[in-house]
């Protein structure tokens, strides 16, 4: 199959649908909107139009209705002169702390459908917000703005004035904590002796073990212990424990040895808070409890460049994502649990149009299962926009 090209007719179709939306809806601009830089990517054009500022809200409204961008962004930073053409001329005044979790960063993403990847990235995002930002860092929920990005993930904007002036290195320390980077087992576990030996008249300690923190301890200590216990439960409940261990990245020969080492007595001791120093046991549990409980951010970790970048552009809430037609939607932590972006971010109409598909696609949108086969098909406008944006079809 040759390279797929989005036709001029399809781009015009997308632009007209986006224009209909922006003509009928006003975007709620962010706080201190006049101190932000704005940037746009237009339909059929390469590159980004940036270094744009708006002194009044109606100036922004007029701009987006007249230009109908494919993507709309704004700065997480505040500037004295946001429309200055050079960054050094803008005069940085501070920046929100941003977390961008994208499903492309998930392990084994290549094995997931688009729908499955959105489910998994939401789990990571909930962990980030609830376990780390609210619990460990103690941010107030009212200072956290949560958004579905309109595409492959979620954004969290921390709007606590206490963090506005953190530099890139200080923000990286926050990322390092959340990802568990360089977390040493000596900071989590206490080395203890489990027995004694007598040599002549003297008694010496013997038999080292690691004492696990209690699962309800705060921070990484309790988190690692809960992770270890969860992993044990997963393995013991599995009908195919070897396969379960392989899911954790353990080679088959190592998995068999690990299962042998993981005797009932050892499991009992682990549940009592004593992690044996057997090399395979220790390495497996420490590595995987960390991987299980840390947050996956940037092609292997939260997108670190986003969090650490004090001059970052981020997708504008309320705007449309050019590759899906979905709206960038804000939500609360409670709404996040039941939130389904494939139902709740669709703003395009239901009337049907003809599209020529370059491959078969299966997707559930607006609570309806679609099985679209290659070739000429009739689909709702909201689905046509999604398929064209994802380069799987062209309007006829």
Give the whole-angstrom CA distance, residue 180 versus residue 307: 15
Q: Are 114 and 340 in contact (CB under 8 A)?
A: no
Q: How many residues does the chain have?
A: 396
The closest alpha carbon to 172, from 106, 99, 222, belongs to 99
Phi, psi of 250, deg, nearest 5: -85, 130
Q: Are 155 and 315 in contact (CB under 8 A)?
A: yes
Phi, psi of 54, deg, nearest 5: -130, 120
* Distant-in-sequence, close-in-space partners of 136: CB < 8 Å, separation ≥ 6: 177, 218, 219
**Statement: residue 2 has pLDDT above 60:** no
Q: What is the model's pTM?
A: 0.86
Among 10-19, 54-63, 261-270, the range scoring the smallest mean pLDDT is: 261-270
Per annotation, catalytic residue among 20, 23, 83, 100: 100
Distances (CA, A) of 125 to 164, 244, 344: 22, 24, 18
Distances (CA, A) of 348 to 116, 309, 321, 381: 23, 33, 12, 6
Number of other CB atoms surrounding residue 171 within 10 Å: 20
Comparing 1-17+347-396 with 26-177+300-345, is the CATH topology the same?
no
What dihedral angle (degrees, nearest 10) is formed by the CA atoms of 231, 236, 240, 244?
Answer: 10
Q: Quick one: DSSP state of residue 133?
A: I
Q: Which helix (H) or strand (E) holds 334?
A: helix 333-338
Give me the percent of the chain exceeding a pLDDT of 90: 63
Distances (CA, A) of 357 to 6, 206, 361, 375, 387: 11, 70, 9, 5, 8
100 a catalytic residue: yes
Q: Are 110 and 162 in contact (CB under 8 A)?
A: no
Distances (CA, A) of 225 to 128, 233, 265: 18, 13, 18
Number of other CB atoms surrounding residue 95 within 10 Å: 22
pLDDT digits (tens, 9 = 90+) for 314-371: 999 999 999 999 999 999 999 999 999 999 999 999 999 999 999 999 999 999 999 9
Domain 1-17+347-396 has CATH 3.40.5: yes
Per annotation, catalytic residue among 23, 102, 201, 276: 102
CATH superfamily, domain at 26-177+300-345? DNA primase, PRIM domain (3.90.920.10)
**Statement: residue 214 has pLDDT above 70:** yes
Average pLDDT, stretch 72-101? Answer: 97
Q: Quick one: DSSP state of residue 320?
A: B
pLDDT digits (tens, 9 = 90+) for 254-276: 888 888 878 888 888 778 777 76
The closest alpha carbon to 355, from 307, 382, 388, 331, belongs to 388
Q: Quick one: DSSP state of residue 236?
A: H
Between 228 and 85, the more confident residue is 85
303 a catalytic residue: yes
Q: Are 371 and 362 in contact (CB under 8 A)?
A: yes
351 a catalytic residue: no
- Residue spans of the domains in the chain: they are 1-17+347-396, 26-177+300-345, 185-293
Give the whole-angstrom CA distance, residue 336 versus residue 93: 31
pLDDT digits (tens, 9 = 90+) for 19-39: 999 999 999 999 999 999 999
């Amino acid at each position: 199959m040759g390279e797929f090209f989005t036709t001029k007719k399809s781009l015009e179709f997308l632009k007209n649908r986006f224009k209909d939306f922006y003509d009928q809806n006003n975007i709620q601009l962010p706080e201190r909107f006049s101190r932000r830089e704005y940037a746009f990517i237009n339909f059929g054009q390469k590159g980004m139009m940036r270094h744009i500022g708006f002194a009044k809200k109606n100036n922004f409204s007029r701009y987006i209705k007249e230009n109908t961008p494919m993507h709309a962004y704004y700065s997480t930073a505040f500037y004295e002169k946001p429309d200055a053409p050079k960054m050094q001329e803008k005069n940085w005044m501070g920046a929100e702390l941003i977390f961008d979790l994208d499903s492309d960063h998930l392990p084994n993403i290549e094995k997931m459908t688009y729908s499955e990847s959105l489910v998994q990235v939401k789990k990571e995002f909930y962990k980030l917000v609830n376990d780390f930002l609210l619990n460990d860092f103690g941010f107030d929920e009212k200072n956290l703005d949560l958004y579905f990005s309109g595409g492959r993930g979620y954004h969290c904007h921390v709007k606590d004035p206490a963090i506005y002036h953190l530099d890139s290195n200080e923000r990286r320390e926050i990322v390092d904590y959340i990802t568990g980077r360089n977390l040493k087992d000596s900071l989590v576990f206490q080395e203890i002796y489990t027995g004694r030996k007598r040599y002549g008249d003297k008694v010496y300690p013997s038999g080292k073990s690691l004492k696990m923190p209690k699962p309800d301890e705060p921070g990484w200590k309790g988190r690692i212990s809960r992770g270890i216990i969860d992993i044990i439960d997963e393995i013991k409940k599995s009908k195919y424990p070897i396969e379960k261990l392989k899911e954790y990245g353990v080679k088959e020969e190592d998995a068999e040895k690990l299962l042998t080492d993981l005797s009932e007595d050892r499991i009992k001791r682990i549940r009592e808070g004593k992690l044996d120093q057997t090399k395979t046991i220790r390495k497996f549990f420490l590595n995987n409890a960390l991987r299980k409980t840390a947050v996956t951010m940037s092609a292997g970790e939260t997108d670190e460049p986003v969090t650490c970048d004090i001059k970052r552009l981020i997708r504008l809430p309320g705007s449309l994502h050019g590759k899906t037609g979905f709206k960038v939607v804000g939500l609360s932590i409670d709404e996040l649990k039941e939130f389904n972006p494939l139902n709740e971010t669709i703003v395009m109409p239901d009337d049907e149009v003809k599209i020529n598909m370059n491959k078969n696609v299966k997707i559930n949108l607006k609570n309806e299962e679609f099985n679209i086969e290659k070739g000429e098909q009739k689909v709702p406008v909201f689905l046509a926009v999604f398929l064209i944006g994802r380069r799987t079809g062209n309007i006829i």
